[in-house]
């Protein structure tokens, strides 16, 4: 057992350690080389969020940040379904640098990264094709009030382990659910296929998916799909804030990213609207 040290010595030792640490951090900050690029971790096949062709929401926002930083934007691509953070943001071989420094879209509360302030808030949405006898539906309540003989024949597409699963269970629609894997092992799969292929081909009748997916793929078929953002209800939360993520311990970089978010509000909003992302208010902010 270590001998007990008087409190004055403990405080003195702590003060010395803090001074040494502060000096070390300051010295490191002075010698740290400037960034040569905005290096983004991305899934290469995850529209509407990111793609190898840099056509997604997160790609476009990264380009905005790159211009403000006066840096080129580079991407390190890795399928999101395979331990994404460990193989991108936290991946480092001896004598080599990290391959990327920022994830452009993570949910608030995601503890594998240091999460910034949110830059948008969206909600899961009900996606309904027009002309299938549901044109009267303007809300989730309208959908649930549909004639039971009609409602019980509908095939509802959704992802496993999502709020949609809780929703169909809460409303006695489990038998109508057609469940897709949230993280499919096939890297050729992308989340929008539930609308882009399965809904269009009538393999399902309606879909309940994350808002940006719903909005983007509905815009690819103008006039044929209705997107209805869902309101949270008892036991089912549908709306979530989305932020960015950096490595734990990189406080200055996180602060710089948050400053970029603040400076880029107009550009971010324009991009989200262009992609058809349904935006919702923060219920906590309304309550304050």
Q: What is the mean pLDDT of residues 159-165?
A: 94
Q: What is the predicted pLDDT for the residue at 34?
A: 84
55 burial level (CB within 10 Å; 0-12, 13-18, 19+): exposed
pLDDT at 16 over 60: no
Whether residue 48 is preceded by a cis peptide bond, meaning omega within 30 degrees of 0, is yes
Tell me the C-alpha distance between 252 and 92, whole Å.
20
124 burial level (CB within 10 Å; 0-12, 13-18, 19+): buried
Q: What is the mean pLDDT of residues 78-89?
A: 91
91, 83 contact by CB (below 8 A): no
pLDDT at 212 over 80: yes
pLDDT above 70 covers what percent of the chain? 86
Q: How far is CA 276 from the centre of its chain?
A: 15
Residue identified by tokens 């509360």 is: 109
Domain boundaries, the chain: 38-120+241-287, 122-229
C-alpha dihedral sign at 248, 249, 253, 256: positive
Q: What is the predicted pLDDT for the residue at 270?
A: 98
Q: What is the mean pLDDT of residues 174-195?
A: 87
pLDDT at 52 over 50: yes
Q: 38-120+241-287 and 122-229 share one CATH topology? A: yes
Q: What is the predicted pLDDT for the residue at 45?
A: 93
Selected residue with higher pLDDT from 95 and 106: 106
pLDDT at 184 over 80: no
Q: How far is CA 279 from the centre of its chain?
A: 13
Beta-carbon count within 10 A of 218 CB: 22
Please state the pTM of the whole predicted model.
Answer: 0.85
Q: What is the mean pLDDT of residues 84-92?
A: 95
Q: What is the predicted pLDDT for the residue at 100?
A: 97
Q: What is the predicted pLDDT for the residue at 284?
A: 65
C-alpha dihedral sign at 37, 39, 45, 48: negative
pLDDT at 22 over 70: no
Q: State whether CATH 3.40.50.300 applies to domain 38-120+241-287.
A: no
Q: What is the mean pLDDT of residues 156-162?
A: 94
Q: What is the predicted pLDDT for the residue at 30?
A: 42
158, 178 contact by CB (below 8 A): yes
pLDDT above 90 covers what percent of the chain? 78
Q: What is the mean pLDDT of residues 248-264?
A: 97
Q: What is the mean pLDDT of residues 33-57?
A: 94
Question: Is residue 7 within a helix (H) or strand (E), and if so which, with residue range?
Answer: helix 7-31
Q: What does residue 244 show for φ and ψ, rounded to 5 degrees?
A: -120, 165
Most confident of 80-94, 131-145, 175-189, 261-275: 261-275
What is the third-level CATH fold of 122-229?
Answer: D-Maltodextrin-Binding Protein; domain 2 (3.40.190)
């Amino acid at each position: 057992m270590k001998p007990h040290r008087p409190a004055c010595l403990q405080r003195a030792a702590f003060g010395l350690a803090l001074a040494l640490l502060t000096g070390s951090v300051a010295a490191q900050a002075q010698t740290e080389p400037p960034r040569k690029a905005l290096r983004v971790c991305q899934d290469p096949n995850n529209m509407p969020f990111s793609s190898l062709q840099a056509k997604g929401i997160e790609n476009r926002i990264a380009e905005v940040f790159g211009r403000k930083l006066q840096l080129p934007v580079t991407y390190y691509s890795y399928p999101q379904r395979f331990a994404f953070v460990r193989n991108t943001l936290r991946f480092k071989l001896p004598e080599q640098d990290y391959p990327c420094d920022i994830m452009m879209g993570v949910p608030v509360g995601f503890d594998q990264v240091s999460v910034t302030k949110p830059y948008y808030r969206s909600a899961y949405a009900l996606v309904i094709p027009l002309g299938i006898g549901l044109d009267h539906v303007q809300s989730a309540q309208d959908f649930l009030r549909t004639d039971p003989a009609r409602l019980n024949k509908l095939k509802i597409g959704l992802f496993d382990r999502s709020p949609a699963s809780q929703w169909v269970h809460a409303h006695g629609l489990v038998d109508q659910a057609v469940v897709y894997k949230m993280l499919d092992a096939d890297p050729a799969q992308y989340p929008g296929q539930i609308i882009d292929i399965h809904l269009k081909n009538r393999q399902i009748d309606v879909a309940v998916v994350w808002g940006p997916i719903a909005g983007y793929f509905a815009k690819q078929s103008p006039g044929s799909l209705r997107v209805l953002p869902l309101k949270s209800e008892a036991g089912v939360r549908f709306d979530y804030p989305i932020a960015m993520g950096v490595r734990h311990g990189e406080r200055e970089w996180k602060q710089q990213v948050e400053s970029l978010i603040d400076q880029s509000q107009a550009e971010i909003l324009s991009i989200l609207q262009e992609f058809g992302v349904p935006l919702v208010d923060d219920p906590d902010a309304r309550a304050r």
